[in-house]
């Protein structure tokens, strides 16, 4: 059975933002009655349009929704698009369903989603334990935005749960923010253990699994309170649009994030929701292909005499056992490596690389991308913090697309001749 997600906005009486409850799926099965993940990606929460039979969700490009009468306010579930929009709502339900959560909010970017989490669960005097290896923008958000509101952060190494436990401050730590695999170092987190620590201290745990995609890891299968996704990456997968999502595991958490979103106006435009509703239907095909290519590229790189430190969770990874426990047999399209010649050689390679590769930011798309994290995605970290977690100037982040793997390897080979 494919989930119908009949969670029409239930704001009639209480004006709360609760979706009708859906049963949570058991870990290991992807849907009620064993409906498989691939089927859900295509069909979950999307029904043919009742009026026309249109197979795709209609794009409701409308700010407001006309009410039949004052008494029947919200009878159809919609009033104003900052609060709820029918196209966006289908995407929210679908993301929640695919991530095995209770409900989700989608936003204009991944950073907007992270901002919702931090604003909802932290206030002046509170403390947050967060990975020291997060996406650079997340790190900057904490330091530059939220610390000035009197919130304290401990940036620690989440590879060791005992380090996380030692950083917790009883009564003050209200949020634990993990990321797995981390951008760009691909460090992994033992989600069960981190969730248990958060619960022990009464904190909410949010995990950013943008790099993993729900194909590999669904934090809510492991009891995690909140999942954060940059939909800009594998969900969109086509460099078409930016987006983010926060998925809550229960109604109470969902109400809180939905309220923050509504207050901030931190929403996704209906056109973007419409696009991601289509692109996410092929996420399983893309991610499986990207994983195969990443495996081939990682294996080839590790045999190259000029290459050192190839890290990919499917081949050589210092936390391979965790990758095997959590990754559902697929290890994703992301890997990184460095060259024996250090930063100058790495920079030379990134400058020389030719099509099918592109030197740019973003990841998870059909185009293969090489990123110089030190000057692009993680330039906004303090240099010492960046180097501490291993993001050197010659660090090369690779996002495998869906091109032919031989063509990708040949282009790498040509560039490496000059390094």
Residue with Cβ nearer ligand PLP (7 or 182) = 182
Give the nearer residue to ligand PLP in terms of CB position, either 106 or 203. 106
Q: Supply the minimum distance, in Å, between the C-beta of residue 31 and ligand PLP.
A: 26
Looking at the Cβ atoms of 3 and 110, the one nearer to ligand PLP is 110
Alpha-carbon gap, residue 100 to 30, rounded angstroms = 8
Contacts of 17 (CB under 8 A, 6+ apart): 9, 11, 83, 254, 255, 258, 259, 262
- How many whole angstroms separate alpha carbon 243 and alpha carbon 144? 22
Closest contact distance (angstroms) between CB of 251 and ligand PLP is: 25
Query: In angstroms, what is the minimal distance from the CB of 243 to ligand PLP?
Result: 7
Cβ at position 178, least distance to ligand PLP in Å: 11
Pairing mode of beta strands 152-156, 173-179: unpaired
Half-sphere exposure of 240 (CA within 13 A, CB side): 17
Residue (19 or 109) nearer to ligand PLP, CB: 109
Whether residue 227 contacts residue 206, with contact meaning beta carbons closer than 8 Å, is answered with: yes
Cβ atoms of 25 and 214 closer than 8 Å? no
Shortest approach of ligand PLP to residue 36 CB, angstroms? 27
Binding site for ligand PLP (CB under 6 A): 109-111, 135, 137-138, 179, 183, 208, 210-211, 230, 232, 242, 244, 377
Do you know the residue count of the chain? 419
Q: Count the Cβ atoms, other than its own, within 10 Å of residue 161.
A: 15
Minimum CB separation of residue 43 from ligand PLP in Å reads 26
Q: Nearer Cβ to ligand PLP, position 133 or 405?
A: 133
C-alpha torsion 119→124→128→132, nearest 10: 90
Quote the least distance from Cβ 246 to ligand PLP, whole Å: 11
Nearer to ligand PLP, 7 or 242 (CB): 242
For ligand PLP, the closer of residues 110 and 237 by Cβ is 110
Determine the residue with CB nearest ligand PLP.
110
Name the packing angle between helices 405-416 and 342-352 (round to 10°). Answer: 130
Q: State the nearest-atom distance from the C-beta of 55 to ligand PLP, in Å.
A: 28
- Copy the structure tokens of residue 396: 């090369």
Residue number, 83 or 210, with CB nearest to ligand PLP: 210
Q: What 3-state DSSP class applies to 369?
A: strand
Return the HEC string of 251-302: HHHHHHHHHHHHHHCCCCCHHHHHHHHHHHHHHHHHHHHHHHHHHHHHHHHH
Q: Where are the alpha helices (DSSP H) in 158-249?
A: 161-167, 191-200, 213-216
């Amino acid at each position: 059975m494919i989930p119908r997600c009949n969670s029409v906005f239930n704001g009639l009486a209480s004006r709360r933002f609760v979706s009708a409850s859906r049963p949570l799926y058991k870990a290991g099965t992807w849907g009620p009655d064993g409906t498989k993940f691939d089927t859900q990606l295509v069909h979950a929460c999307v029904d043919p349009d009742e009026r026309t039979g249109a197979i795709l969700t209609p794009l409701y490009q409308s700010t407001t929704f006309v009410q039949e009468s004052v008494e029947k306010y919200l009878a159809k579930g919609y009033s104003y698009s900052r609060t709820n929009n029918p196209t966006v709502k289908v995407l929210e339900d679908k993301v929640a369903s695919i991530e095995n959560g209770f409900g989700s909010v989608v936003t204009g970017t991944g950073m907007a989603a992270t901002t919702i989490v931090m604003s909802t669960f932290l206030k002046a005097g509170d403390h947050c334990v967060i990975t020291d290896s997060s996406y650079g923008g997340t790190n900057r958000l904490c330091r530059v935005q939220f610390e000035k509101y009197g919130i304290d952060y401990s940036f620690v190494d989440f590879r060791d749960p005992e380090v996380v436990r030692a950083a917790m401050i009883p009564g003050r730590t209200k949020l634990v923010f993990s990321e797995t695999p981390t951008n760009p170092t691909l460090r992994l987190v033992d989600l069960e253990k981190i969730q248990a620590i958060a619960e022990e201290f009464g904190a909410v745990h949010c995990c950013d699994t943008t790099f993993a995609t729900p194909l590999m890891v669904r934090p809510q299968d492991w009891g995690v309170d909140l999942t954060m996704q940059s939909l800009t990456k594998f969900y969109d997968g086509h460099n078409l649009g930016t987006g983010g999502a926060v998925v809550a595991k229960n109604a109470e958490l969902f109400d809180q994030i939905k309220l923050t979103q509504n207050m901030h106006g931190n929403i996704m435009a209906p056109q973007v929701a419409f696009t991601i509703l289509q692109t996410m239907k092929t996420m399983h095909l893309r991610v499986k292909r990207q994983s195969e290519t990443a495996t081939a590229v990682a294996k080839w790189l590790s045999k190259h005499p000029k290459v050192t430190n190839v890290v990919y969770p499917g081949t050589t990874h210092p936390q391979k056992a965790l990758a095997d426990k959590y990754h559902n047999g697929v290890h994703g399209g992301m890997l990184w490596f460095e060259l024996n010649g250090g930063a100058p050689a790495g920079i030379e390679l990134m400058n020389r690389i030719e099509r099918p590769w592109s030197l740019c930011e973003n990841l998870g798309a059909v185009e293969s991308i090489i990123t110089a994290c030190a000057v692009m995605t993680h330039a906004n970290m303090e240099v010492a913090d960046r180097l501490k977690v291993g993001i050197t100037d010659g660090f090369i982040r690779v996002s495998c697309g869906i091109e032919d793997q031989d063509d990708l390897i040949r282009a790498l080979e040509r560039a490496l001749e000059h390094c």
